[in-house]
């Protein structure tokens, strides 16, 4: 007897008995899960993983297939959907995790790879979830939280912090997490609207427990919401090391995700201010790259921000377009785009109109 379960874009065929096959329907899903497995596995082995260890094969095997080829063959045949982990009961989800842990352990042993805390790895990997969540709640737990009024409690506490200007505690963070994970659509939107400004206020303190809590809130919002605002703010924190260790690569990765959404024509920003903030961040992340293509992306970002009215971006564009003085060493602006003195002067004038002071080489505080 076979049981067909649906997982949206991820399809699952579960055989009652000893076999259970999870079939990833697209190469993109497979790549993402294999990449995440690589990151998590490296943290849980005491010796380097040998070269023959193939992360896509490992993913396929953990999902119940003999190898990558078998997973791809199954993907062509699968056409029915099934519930995500988030829609399963606690018992069903526990069974899935146990199956994944057993299969991945078997694959790792082929290469003499000893994995520490396999259960913890699976809890973070979550290849059969619509998106990894920490902690991941079952439908049973979500219903219990709703019955206990957790979403409303979280909302009322967020309103309190908005009105009072006080700072939340680590215990409050747990309530916010459970509230947003168990809220329904309208409640989720309301929680997000209050949680975002609170997170930014905390992160802007730059150091200390408050900034760390702000980053944790941004991580939660990035995981639980389709809104891209928290990803922009999280990328800013990661670039500057505010409330978290500086991580430029992850900041660039978040910017790539946002840029892809913009390129697809989606309405990401509610105002030009938010759009400028993203473009300035993207420019600064790529402006010092050794790769000309990335430095051109930085110039393009600054130019778009300037065209939206940013004086700071206009000053950057003016530098790119102005020829290097003979007595100056090459810098981040050199050799990126052809020089155009007329355009350079036009952008410099915009910077002046936005408050730039050539003597102090600074803009007024808060200038766009």
Contact 105, 115 (CB under 8 A): yes
26 vs 37: CA distance, rounded Å: 17
Contacts of 191 (CB under 8 A, 6+ apart): 151, 154, 155, 158, 176, 179, 180, 183
Question: Inter-axis angle of helices 292-307 and 272-286, to 10 degrees?
Answer: 160
pLDDT tens-digit profile of 60-98? 999 999 999 988 888 887 665 456 777 778 888 888 899
Question: Inter-axis angle of helices 272-286 and 229-240, to 10 degrees?
Answer: 40
315: closest CA among 324, 305, 329, 323?
Answer: 305
Choose the weakest-confidence range: 14-23, 42-51, 148-157, 339-348: 14-23
Contact 220, 205 (CB under 8 A): no
pLDDT tens-digit profile of 198-255? 999 999 999 999 999 999 999 988 877 777 889 999 999 999 999 999 999 889 988 9
Q: How far apart are the first and last CA of the chain?
A: 64
Q: Where are the alpha helices (DSSP H) in 80-130?
A: 90-109, 118-125
Based on its alpha-carbon atoms, the radius of gyration of the chain, rounded to whole angstroms, reads 25
pLDDT tens-digit profile of 161-179? 999 999 999 899 999 989 9
Contact 51, 45 (CB under 8 A): no
**How many other C-beta atoms lie within 10 A of the C-beta of residue 4?**
14
Length of the chain: 368
**String of DSSP letters for 168-197:** --HHHHHHHHHHHHH--HHHHHHHHHHHHH
Contact 96, 85 (CB under 8 A): yes
Question: How much is the mean pLDDT over the chain?
Answer: 86
* Mean pLDDT (whole number) for 121-137: 79
Q: Collapse the DSSP code of 53 into the 3-class scheme (helix H, G, I; strand E, B; otherwise coil) and give the result.
A: coil
pLDDT tens-digit profile of 265-294? 777 787 899 899 999 999 999 999 999 999
Contact 282, 313 (CB under 8 A): no
Percent of the chain with pLDDT over 70: 91
């Amino acid at each position: 007897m076979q049981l067909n379960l649906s997982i949206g874009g991820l399809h699952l065929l579960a055989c009652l008995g000893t076999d259970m096959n999870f079939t990833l329907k697209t190469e993109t899903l497979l790549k993402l899960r294999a990449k995440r497995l690589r990151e998590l596995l490296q943290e849980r082995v005491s010796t380097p993983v040998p070269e023959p260890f193939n992360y896509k094969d490992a993913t396929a095997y953990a999902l119940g297939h003999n190898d990558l080829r078998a997973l791809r063959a199954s993907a062509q045949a699968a056409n029915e959907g099934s519930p995500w982990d988030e829609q399963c009961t606690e018992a069903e989800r526990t069974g899935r995790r146990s199956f994944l842990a057993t299969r991945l352990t078997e694959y790792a042993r082929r290469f003499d790879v000893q994995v520490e805390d396999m259960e913890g790895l699976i809890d973070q990997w979550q290849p059969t979830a619509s998106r990894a969540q920490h902690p991941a709640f079952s439908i049973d737990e979500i219903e219990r939280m709703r019955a206990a009024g957790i979403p409303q409690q979280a909302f009322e506490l967020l309103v309190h912090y908005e009105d009072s200007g006080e700072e939340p505690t680590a215990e409050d963070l747990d309530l916010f997490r459970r509230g947003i994970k168990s809220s329904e659509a309208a409640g989720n939107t309301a929680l997000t609207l209050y949680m975002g400004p609170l997170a930014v206020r905390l992160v802007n303190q730059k150091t200390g427990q408050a900034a760390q809590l702000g980053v944790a809130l941004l991580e939660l919002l990035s995981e639980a919401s389709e809104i891209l605002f928290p990803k922009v703010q999280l990328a800013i924190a990661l670039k500057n090391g505010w409330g978290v260790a500086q991580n430029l690569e992850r900041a660039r990765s978040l910017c790539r995700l946002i840029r892809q959404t913009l390129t697809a024509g989606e309405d990401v920003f509610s105002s030009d201010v938010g759009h400028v903030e993203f473009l300035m961040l993207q420019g600064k992340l790529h402006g010092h790259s050794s790769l000309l293509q990335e430095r051109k992306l930085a110039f393009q970002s600054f130019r778009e921000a300037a065209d939206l009215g940013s004086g700071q971006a206009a000053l950057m564009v003016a530098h790119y377009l102005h020829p290097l003085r003979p007595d100056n060493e090459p810098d981040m602006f050199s050799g990126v785009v052809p020089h155009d003195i007329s355009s350079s002067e036009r952008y410099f004038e915009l910077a002046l109109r936005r408050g730039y002071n050539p003597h102090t080489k600074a803009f007024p505080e808060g200038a766009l």
